[in-house]
Chains A and B, each alone.
Chain A
Amino acid sequence: DTAVSQTPKYLVTQMGNDKSIKCEQNLGHDTMYWYKQDSKKFLKIMFSYNNKELIINETVPNRFSPKSPDKAHLNLHINSLELGDSAVYFCASSSWTSSGANVLTFGAGSRLTVL
């Protein structure tokens, strides 16, 4: 069973289109994230939800809108796609360890290519 699953794995689309990436976790974690990894492998946090509530919202264009229908799902919708949005988007979830640390479990990534 895949712990954190994202769909689609690959997405190729034209500039200006709107697209969504879905994420689901079956770990029972309370917190979910979206990270963006660019072509230089730089990984940047975008959003975080805890029990469906938005808790982290980095400086991300408002064309990006996350939605969490329940604590096991966090979807990412992107409007008016631009060339610079091309990247690999990773979903992750976390829970606190017994020692009070926040450890992430990542999905396999969704590679978005905007033409």
Chain B
Amino acid sequence: NAGVTQTPKFRILKIGQSMTLQCAQDMNHNYMYWYRQDPGMGLKLIYYSVGAGITDKGEVPNGYNVSRSTTEDFPLRLELAAPSQTSVYFCASSPVGAEAFFGQGTRLTVV
């Protein structure tokens, strides 16, 4: 049972480039989330989804986009990478009313 799988694990982007962070879960969870973790700041919610076709903004959505076409996948898109987006990104999923399971994270550096 893989749980929540994030790819890639590491990535270096140049300013202005775009990329998609992939997230897949095999637990049939309805809820999925994207967080970013910056040193000394805890995790902040970027976007979340309560089911296929439904997404909503979190606390820090600017510069990001998401889609949820299937229950399993919840990709995060960065269109014009900026140094402020250097962070560790975590995807999580949860069944309704229960704990969130986190992936291993993607460490992104924008130079």
The finding on whether chains A and B are genuine partners in a shared complex, rather than unrelated, reads no
Residues in chain B within 8 A of chain A (CB atoms): none
